[in-house]
Amino acid sequence: MVAIDQGTTGTTVLLVDAARIVRGRGYREFPQIYPRPGEVEHDPEAIWGSVTGALADALKGADVRRIAALGITNQRETTLLWEREGGRPVANAIVWQDRRTAPFCATLKAAGHEPAVRERTGLVLDPYFSATKIRWLLDGVAGLRARAEAGAIAFGTVDSFLIWRLTGGQVHATDVSNASRTLLLDLRTRRFSDELCELFGVPPALLPEVRPSAGRIGQTRGVPGLPDGIPITGVAGDQQAALYGQDCTEPGDAKCTFGTGAFLLMNVGAEPKPSSRGLLSTIAWTLDPAPVAVGSAKKAAPPTEARETAYALEGSAFVAGALVQWLRDGLGIIASASEIEELARSVPDSGGVTIVPALTGLGAPHWRAEARGLISGITRGTTRAHIARAALEAIALQNVDLVTAMQADAGRPINSFRVDGGAAANDLLMQIQADLLEAQIFRPEMVESTALGAAKLAALGVGLPPVDKGGETARMRIFNPTMPAETRANLLARWADAVGRA
């Protein structure tokens, strides 16, 4: 199984066997483009180059003829437009972090559109999502809107762009989880809405076909290093893929991915759960599994699995690992991201320092695009170690806000809290998170749950038998809360005060 994990700063490709053991790995970074403050772009060709480069690294020495299927997971709301004839991108991709459409979102809110949009899509009117980015590109590139209305231009989130490239331009599709992040999909019908397209000024001719997250989507054609005909059978947005990769398949199961941002999702079952506390309702996945292969025979999938859709509540903190990157690149407090844990451990606490990491505004549950980062509580005795520890606390404190809102909206406690992503390897951060949540944190041996989820969806879609979950659970590390109640209460009070001033 090949899993392509196309992220915000780079692409990881894993070659995974039937027992979910990684047999090959490749990773390629690509440049970030910052045209103006608040704007973030990617070169689509750089994205594709990172995919083909990581593929080549992961498949070195492998017998590519034995690859059963391919899965894709991706940064979600990032918006690309390309020409249907030839596949040339018409502009840089506008990244999910980009805030340039905030004024248009404010105009729609002032006109009273947000309640109806929220009820239909589960999302809020925020620059985070794809629809306003599409409109900005159509109006900002000369002649593009007319070409889009004529059907000459294709839109996609990154999964759709990769499917197009991987199939040699034969398939223009996305999966339901990515489609649910566009502000254009009706959560209940799982189809793009003409009314929402009209509201956002998006021609329906631009849009891809919406497919299940597990099921046959297309097959490879003309991809360097891959034979033609490999089926693409698993696709999901990165956070939904991580939820599936962590086996959070029962209502009440939750995970948090610590990547560029922190993304907390809770499986809420077969019906969408509206939020009144600033969270998002989203589609976790739709499964359309192939018959399970048993020897040379095929065993039909159980009826309950056929076309099964699960929904989730989601809370997104825009900045998590990116805060550590800023300490490294912006302030020079550390030389590499891996140094932060040792530096933060060198002091017993943050010395009264509190950081609000609103470097690109505040996400859920606050949704304040105008908020800016804040460091408070600095004294003459403050050292870089105190700032490092405060940064780890800030990442964890954001998640306390999210969990509190999530449990209230869901009307139930979280069954189990699982973590993944690069920053989840930081033991001190995980301990701080357990302390502040007053809950056990479960970290799998393999923290690349996003790519693993893509592989597992692809395996389901091609009809491979499932793997016993018991062995994976046994390999988890558990972090138990140990922080005194008074210390926790003081941290939460300082955090609430600082957020109010950010």
Side chain identity at 340, as an amino acid letter?
Answer: I
Q: Which residue, 105, 52, 44, 29, is CA-closest to 80? A: 44
Q: Are 94 and 156 in contact (CB under 8 A)?
A: no
Percent of the chain with pLDDT over 70: 95
Is the preceding peptide bond at 465 cis, omega within 30 degrees of 0? Answer: no
Mean pLDDT of 269-282: 91
The length of the chain, given as a count of residues: 502
Q: Are 66 and 17 in contact (CB under 8 A)?
A: no
Residue 422 pLDDT? 83
- State yes or no: pLDDT of 383 exceeds 70: yes
Triad 227, 230, 233: Cα angle to 5°: 155
Tokens (6 digits) for 341: 């844990």
pLDDT tens digits along 149-177: 999 999 999 999 999 999 999 999 999 99
CATH number (3.30.420.40, 3.40.50.920, 3.40.50.720, 3.30.9.30) of 2-246 reads 3.30.420.40
Distance CA 186, CA 183 (A): 8
What does the H/E/C string look like for 32-61? Answer: CECCCCCCCEECHHHHHHHHHHHHHHHCCC
Q: Please determine whether the domains at 2-246 and 321-443+468-501 fall in the same fold group of CATH.
A: yes
Residue 416 pLDDT? 82
Residue 469 pLDDT? 58
Mean pLDDT of 70-91: 96
Phi, psi of 43 (to 5 degrees): -80, 115
- State yes or no: pLDDT of 227 exceeds 50: yes
pLDDT tens digits along 260-272: 889 899 999 999 9
Instruction: Name all contacts of 495-501 with Cβ < 8 Å and 24+ positions apart.
Output: 495/354, 495/356, 495/394, 495/397, 495/400, 497/354, 498/354, 498/355, 498/356, 498/374, 498/376, 499/356, 499/362, 499/366, 499/401, 501/356, 501/374, 501/376
Triad 10, 15, 20: Cα angle to 5°: 115
Distances from the Cα of 490 to the Cα of 77, 215, 350, 387, 494, angstroms: 36, 49, 12, 17, 6
| End-to-end Cα distance, the chain | 45
Burial classification of residue 376, based on how many CB atoms lie within 10 Å of its CB (0-12 exposed, 13-18 middle, 19 or more buried): middle
- Please tell me what DSSP assigns to residue 84: T
Triad 345, 449, 440: Cα angle to 5°: 50
pLDDT band at 95 (very low <50, low <70, confident <90, very high): very high
Tokens 């951060």, residue located? 429
- State yes or no: pLDDT of 475 exceeds 90: no
Domain ranges of the chain: 2-246, 321-443+468-501
Q: Which residue, 276, 279, 277, is CA-closest to 312? A: 279
Mean pLDDT of 49-76: 95
pLDDT band at 296 (very low <50, low <70, confident <90, very high): very low
Residue 293 pLDDT? 53
Taking the alpha carbons of 378, 382, 383, 388 in that order, is the dihedral positive or negative?
negative
pLDDT tens digits along 406-448: 999 998 888 889 998 888 999 999 999 999 999 999 998 877 8
- State yes or no: pLDDT of 391 exceeds 70: yes
Is the CATH number of domain 321-443+468-501 2.30.40.10? no
Residue 446 pLDDT? 79
- State yes or no: pLDDT of 481 exceeds 70: yes
